[in-house]
Amino acid sequence: MNLGIARPSVLDNVQWLYVPEPQYPFYRIGSFSNAVPSLAPAGKSSLYVEVAANSTASDAEVVASVRQFLREHGWLQHDSQVEVEQIRHIRYGYVVFDRHYFGSRQTVLDYLSAAGVASRGRYGSWMYASMEDAMWDGYTFAQGR
């Protein structure tokens, strides 16, 4: 879920927050604009909310719970502050491991390497990695390590 909120610094300048509470169908909420202010108009905030694929909550329940969470923490005073609200269902958000994963991954990476392709980063390496891991992978490759 993506949100545009008509107030600055929603989440009190926190970039992302894990929410391990059973009453919420989402597990993480973050603010793009707290990380990079130009990702929202001046005086406003951009948020994302991640819901696990196995959640049974409807889109309407997710929206209601996110708004409730934001109100409970003082980040949303009234619903009219929500200027943008977009639900997106992303089929494949993370690398899926199966019993063929390691062998298949190595076959692909060996093929690409033999063809002179340096496949790096989260998606290029077909592995789960944080943004920081992907940046470090790029940096070390550029340094020839």
Q: For residues 50-86, b (16+ Cβ closer than 10 Å) or e, as one string?
A: ebeeeeeeeeeebbebbbebbeeeebbeeeebbeeee
Q: What is the mean pLDDT of the chain?
A: 89
Structure tokens at 58: 């409807």
Question: CA quadruple 71, 26, 130, 90: dihedral positive or negative?
Answer: negative
- Residue 28 · residue 93 · CB < 8 Å: no
Instruction: Note the pLDDT tens digit of each residue in 51-75.
Output: 987 889 999 999 999 999 999 999 9
pLDDT at position 107 is 95
- Beta carbons of 11 and 34 less than 8 angstroms apart: yes
Residue 126 and residue 128: Cα distance in Å, rounded? 7
- Per-residue pLDDT, 80: 96
Residues 6 or more apart whose Cβ sits within 8 Å of residue 80: 6
Averaged pLDDT, 11-31: 91
- Reported as a single tens digit per residue, the pLDDT across 78-129 is 999 999 999 998 877 666 778 998 899 999 999 999 999 988 887 788 777 7
105: Cα within 13 Å, side-chain hemisphere: 17
Q: What is the pLDDT of residue 68?
A: 95
Report how far residue 23's alpha carbon sits from residue 20's, in angstroms, rounded to the nearest whole number: 9
pLDDT band per the 50, 70, 90 thresholds, residue 145: low
Which H or E element spans position 47? strand 45-51
Closest CA to 76 of 19, 31, 140: 31
